[in-house]
Structure 1
């Protein structure tokens, strides 16, 4: 058997998927946040080439249908299951999880048996307004979408993941973090447990929510005692801005995704010069393509070299634990975050 290739900055999701095609074949995968021209869409598109079934999710049914149509137009033989899911709503999460858990028996047996093998937490909310907005469940919106919702979804779908384990395969959960997780001081436990408008900063909250992903990968791997391998990652060295001055904080690598088409985000990006007045990626910045940005997600989900590295943090499709901030590596904070989140959802997440 030939040696596996070394992935790099410019490796694409399709290239990673092609390398691990045999590992992907027959697997059932759920990817959250799969709107067209986003990282989740690209992840789902390339995995669908080989997977038995890819469940795509989104809170907007029209966009979800468009993603399904676009993937099937490219390859009509792929199996896609669109699942309506709003990660900011506990009720929506419970309804979606119940739908997935019911996908078995004669009607769906050609797609999904009693389990699936990979859960990819790609969806995220990004603060584009300075205003504080709680969800109907009383959680700050970014924390709800980026952390609490994925936690509840993982808890409800864990039995299906656990059922997929074999002597030679351990199911995986993948959390998308961001280079921004290192900009702040870590999880804001006060805002998470006692959300309030006073002193609220949307950008700092985004950084804080992204610091939860590495902690969850560490803690889920530990608590499952080898039954689930969890990983976190940064898709690219992204561009982030101060909401006070809209000035550039870092300019390493930028990925042009659908989020930049948001009117507020687009205006900010144009103001910094990251986008041209026409809304196109500016020259001179080290942009990653969408295909390159999704590569690390595919690697985290299927690279067999990660089998004995549960809890690892990835960048550019390689293990990069040195890029994980200290506050997102702390086992005490990981345990505290898990316990606090159990209280928020009102349920224990045990194995």
Structure 2
């Protein structure tokens, strides 16, 4: 027998590499030293101007949002979600992204589909200005259902030790700014699919007037990458804490940056909630606490700053093309989130 007869098509894998090369090379910058195909990615680290450079790393996947890509047979954006989930995480500690790597595993490799996935990853890397310097595509017959795959990403960034954002400087009276999300991002899809596709039997092709698009178009919208806006703010304003609102919503992510004796008081009417969340809450009869525990509710990232820096930060964010709102403040408490009605 041959490897191909066992289900692994090496030639198709090589063809996939050829198809993805143009996307990958489009992310390269002067720090990338090798071409595609080496055993490791080479990156020339520039630490000029830093006294104590610290590397910050992160890894993540996309979760069950992949099911939407399978159902829609649309694979050229899901890679951006993978990049965003990793890059936005290391951004929380003030790290400037250096490079990114990916891992794609599938049951039966189809070169065009893999190239589409990598295109989405490359698009995300270009937004984040993080070269895609390496990756792996694994064909694993019998391990995944036909047409399905999984992807994971690995990001590395750098920050001077004195500039690492930990949340330790957050104090009573500080302001919370919320950066808007592009929708569900990459979290809560198990609940969203259960409510919308199973309980209500919505079709992904259904045009929903309140969304201004089909349900499928809304649910497949890529996760936003906040590098440009946050890096601009860091140049001009001291950011004391950054929270990436991912799995666990407000309740799990925000306390991670709070000192023990402080709470984050969030005003619920201070930003516009995207309609998709209202639809899920309504048709699924989902309680408010569960919504804020599961979804980002329209806020993909939070920045904690001094009140004196509020106007400057909002101006910089707007100039960087980011929509942001003052959504709350820091108060004395027990390291938790308090949701308030105005």
**TM-score in same-fold range (> 0.5):** no
TM (norm. structure 2) is 0.29
Q: Tell me which protein shows more helix as a share of its residues.
A: 1
* Larger radius of gyration between Structure 1 and Structure 2: 2
For normalisation by structure 1, the TM-score amounts to 0.29
Of Structure 1 and Structure 2, which has the larger fraction of its residues in strand?
Answer: 2
